[in-house]
């Protein structure tokens, strides 16, 4: 039997790397990546904790030596041995701290890079459904939690384990019955606290989830501060954030108090056991069966082991919390990628830039197809304009060509090569894309333009800027090309951002240029200048332009009109106007001063 719900989990797992399928596999990946580091840490912590146990036994020898005949040599030898153990323990702890720092910091870098590598393979719909701030916060927090997990194991779990083993050995030298009782009690208490902590794991995961959501909400509001001010929404947004903070605080409080209950239970057990062991030791001393040094040894080791068991048990509770954070991050970030390179994908052999759509079908999950059986051939070097009403499928066509989504039926080819059979990076290297909404990095103007081709010369960069009609305004900026543009280009106007985006595309020198309403924020004169430059610079390139103003397509070789995911008109702009069809009606209404959106609202399309 196949196709049932039980088959879905393995299928999803098969589409993810093994280390992202479960938190345990995720952690093991990085432990195996630095085996010598962790082996060294284990040896150092084992040695340091053993020195601490040795100190307790040497203390017993010192007390017994001082309680007996005054033999100076024996006493001072014991003191020297005591000081040597202290020095050795200190050296080992400091070395473990140095190695632990190098290990956890290095793993933190690896974790963030690995999660980012997987994240940037997600389709664009994933980023539309998840806040950028929340995703960034999860990646950073996961690296921090992994480091905290390593530190917890190395310095809070492993030392008590060594103490426990050493204490049982020392106790067996005093009275084997005490070793058995202490060992059984510690095992029972630790197991009970672990089980208690495991029951609180859903609370820890809920806190991690709410923390990620609130971080995303906060970044979202800060990123849209202009809208908050413009619509007098400061009080509303504050109340909205306060509600989110309150829910997160309740989740944090529940997670925190669960840990406090674990501490309380252990303190009660500690009091009972410490009293019992100390009373037993005093009774044995009264009977003359053990020495005063043995009483001191039993007292100090009992408290050390019981406190260590509490630290270990509570550390395991903390580990469950850290494990919950990692699990929550994997649940969000490690979702199966829907657009992936084929196993044997080869780099695209970019040629002249011929593009073909063959019976392409695509929908966003609803019943209506955004692209419905579309077939289109674009010869190399042709300047093609795409027009149509809102929602007709124009931008979807562009996204499919970039493989931001995969077609559900049919295929798309560039220079005779199916784009699903080539690597995504090589495909997009052959495309210079300018979207309607230009997103810039918080870097200089020069860095944003040169992002398309970092090895471009200064002369090439300025030529691209001049072709995009942005060299003039850039020179008037405070630091010219070195001016920082602000987050997402906030210091520039929409038209200025679009010109920089065009300059970036021109500089790339890709065989195919894609403009998705890329000049909509320009004034008519600037748009015409840009279109002329595009025709001039793109003589040897294929240009595909989703047009905002139909008049700018006059110099194009060909225009297609899309409606309902299908091509309804196709031909040279002059011929389409002469036919008196949909293109001519849209042209006429725009000539009368209406925008393309206003043309849609008139419902002129039957």
Number of H helices, E strands in the chain: 22, 10
Residues 354 and 327 in one domain: no
Q: How far apart are CA 580 and CA 602, in angstroms?
A: 18
pLDDT of residue 548: 72
Look at residue 485 and tell me if it is in a domain. Answer: no
Residues 311 and 374 in one domain: no
pLDDT of residue 488: 72
380's tokens = 């190399």
Which residue range(s) make up the domain with 207?
12-333
Summarize the chain as % helix, strand, coil (round to 5): 65, 10, 25
Q: How far apart are CA 159 and CA 219, in angstroms?
A: 41
Sign of torsion over alpha carbons 462, 463, 466, 467? negative
Look at residue 374 and tell me if it is in a domain. Answer: yes
Q: What does DSSP say about strands 383-387 and 558-563: parallel, antiparallel, or unpaired?
A: parallel
Q: Let me know: does 132 contact 82? Beta carbons within 8 Å.
A: no
Look at residue 447 and tell me if it is in a domain. Answer: no
Q: How far apart are CA 49 and CA 54, in angstroms?
A: 9
Q: What does DSSP say about strands 558-563 and 566-571: parallel, antiparallel, or unpaired?
A: antiparallel
271's tokens = 């009091």
DSSP per-residue codes, 338-399: SS---TT-B-----S--EEEEEEEE-SSSSS-SEEEEEEEE-TT-EEEEE-STTSSHHHHHH
Residues 70 and 94 in one domain: yes
pLDDT of residue 375: 92
Look at residue 441 and tell me if it is in a domain. Answer: no
DSSP H or E segment with residue 41: helix 35-67
Residues 92 and 222 in one domain: yes
Residue 595 CA, distance from chain mean position: 40
Residues 197 and 306 in one domain: yes
515 three-class SS: strand
Q: Given the structure tokens 């894309």, which residue do they identify? A: 433
Q: Let me know: does 531 contact 555? Beta carbons within 8 Å.
A: yes
Look at residue 4 and tell me if it is in a domain. Answer: no
pTM above 0.85?
A: no
Q: Given the structure tokens 């007098």, which residue do they identify? A: 232
Q: How far apart are CA 458 and CA 467, in angstroms?
A: 14
Residue of 166, 163, 182 lying closest to 281 (CA atoms): 182
Please list the rounded mean pLDDT of every run of 10 residues in the chain (606 residues): 39 68 87 91 89 80 71 76 87 90 90 89 77 79 86 84 79 76 76 71 75 76 74 80 86 78 73 74 74 75 71 72 80 81 86 91 79 91 87 86 89 92 90 83 88 89 86 88 83 82 87 80 65 66 84 84 89 88 82 56 43
Q: Which of 273, 304, 333 is the last residue of a domain?
A: 333
Residues 294 and 391 in one domain: no
Strand partners, 377: 356
Q: How far apart are CA 159 and CA 231, in angstroms?
A: 58
Q: Let me know: does 215 contact 222? Beta carbons within 8 Å.
A: no
Residues 111 and 169 in one domain: yes
pLDDT of residue 3: 39
Q: How many domains does the chain have?
A: 2
Q: How far apart are CA 417 and CA 487, in angstroms?
A: 38
CATH of the domain at 391: 3.40.50.300
Q: Let me know: does 529 contact 466? Beta carbons within 8 Å.
A: no
Q: How far apart are CA 29 and CA 50, in angstroms?
A: 29
Residues 364 and 315 in one domain: no
pLDDT of residue 39: 92
pLDDT of residue 547: 80
Q: Let me know: does 118 contact 17? Beta carbons within 8 Å.
A: yes
pLDDT of residue 277: 74
CATH of the domain at 53: 1.20.1560.10
Look at residue 412 and tell me if it is in a domain. Answer: yes
């Amino acid at each position: 039997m196949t196709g049932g719900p039980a088959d879905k989990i393995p299928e999803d797992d098969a589409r993810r790397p093994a280390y992202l399928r479960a938190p345990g596999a995720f952690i093991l990946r990085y432990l195996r990546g630095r085996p010598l580091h962790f082996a060294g840490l284990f040896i150092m912590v084992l040695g340091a904790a053993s020195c601490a146990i040795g100190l307790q036994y040497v203390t017993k020898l010192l007390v017994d030596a001082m309680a007996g005949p005054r033999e100076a040599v024996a006493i001072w030898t014991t003191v020297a041995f005591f000081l040597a153990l202290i020095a050795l323990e200190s050296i080992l702890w400091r070395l473990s701290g140095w190695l632990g720092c190098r290990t956890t910091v290095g793993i933190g870098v690896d974790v963030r890079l690995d999660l980012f590598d997987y994240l940037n393979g997600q389709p664009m719909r994933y980023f539309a459904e998840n806040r950028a701030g929340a995703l960034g916060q999860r990646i950073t927090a996961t690296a921090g939690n992994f480091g905290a997990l390593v530190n917890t194991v190395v310095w809070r779990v492993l030392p008590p384990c060594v103490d426990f083993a050493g204490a049982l050995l020392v106790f067996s030298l005093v009275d084997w019955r005490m070793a058995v009782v202490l060992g059984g009690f510690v095992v029972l208490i630790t197991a009970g606290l672990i089980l208690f902590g495991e029951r609180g794991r859903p609370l820890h995961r809920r806190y991690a989830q709410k923390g990620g959501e609130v971080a995303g909400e906060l970044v979202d509001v800060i990123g849209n501060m202009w809208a908050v001010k413009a619509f007098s929404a400061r009080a509303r947004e504050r109340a909205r954030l306060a509600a989110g903070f309150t829910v997160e605080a309740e989740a944090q409080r529940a997670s925190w108090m669960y840990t406090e209950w674990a501490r309380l239970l252990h303190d009660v057990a500690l009091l009972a056991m410490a009293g019992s062991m100390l009373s037993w030791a005093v009774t044995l001393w009264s009977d003359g069966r053990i020495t005063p040094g043995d009483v001191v040894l039993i007292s100090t080791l009992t408290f050390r082991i019981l406190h260590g068991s509490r630290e270990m048990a509570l550390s395991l509770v903390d580990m469950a919390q850290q494990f919950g954070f990692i699990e929550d991050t994997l649940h969000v970030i490690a979702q199966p990628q829907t657009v992936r390179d084929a196993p044997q994908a080869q780099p695209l052999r970019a040629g002249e830039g011929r593009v073909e759509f063959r019976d392409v079908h695509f929908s966003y999950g609803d019943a209506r197809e955004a692209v419905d059986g579309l077939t289109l051939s674009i010869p190399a070097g042709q300047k093609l304009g795409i027009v149509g009403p809102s929602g007709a499928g124009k931008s979807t066509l562009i996204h499919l060509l970039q493989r931001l989504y995969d077609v559900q039926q049919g295929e798309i080819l560039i220079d005779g090569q199916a784009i699903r059979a080539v690597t995504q990076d090589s495909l997009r290297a052959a495309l210079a894309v300018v979207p309607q909404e230009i997103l810039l990095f918080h870097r200089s103007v020069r860095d944003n333009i040169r992002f398309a081709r970092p090895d471009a010369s200064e002369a090439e960069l300025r030529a691209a800027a001049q072709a995009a009609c942005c060299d003039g305004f850039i020179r008037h900026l405070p630091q010219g090309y070195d001016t920082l543009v602000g987050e997402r280009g906030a210091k520039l106007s929409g038209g200025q951002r679009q010109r920089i985006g065009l300059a970036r595309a021109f500089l790339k020198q890709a065989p195919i240029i894609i403009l998705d309403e890329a000049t909509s924020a320009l004034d008519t004169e600037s748009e015409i200048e840009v279109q002329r430059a595009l025709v001039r610079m793109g003589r040897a390139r294929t240009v595909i332009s989703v047009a905002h103003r139909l008049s700018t397509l006059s110099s194009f070789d060909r225009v297609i009109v899309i409606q309902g995911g299908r091509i309804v008109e196709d031909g040279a702009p002059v011929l389409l106007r002469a036919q008196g069809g949909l293109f001519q009606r849209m042209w006429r209404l725009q000539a009368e001063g209406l925008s393309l959106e206003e043309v849609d609202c008139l419902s002129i399309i039957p």
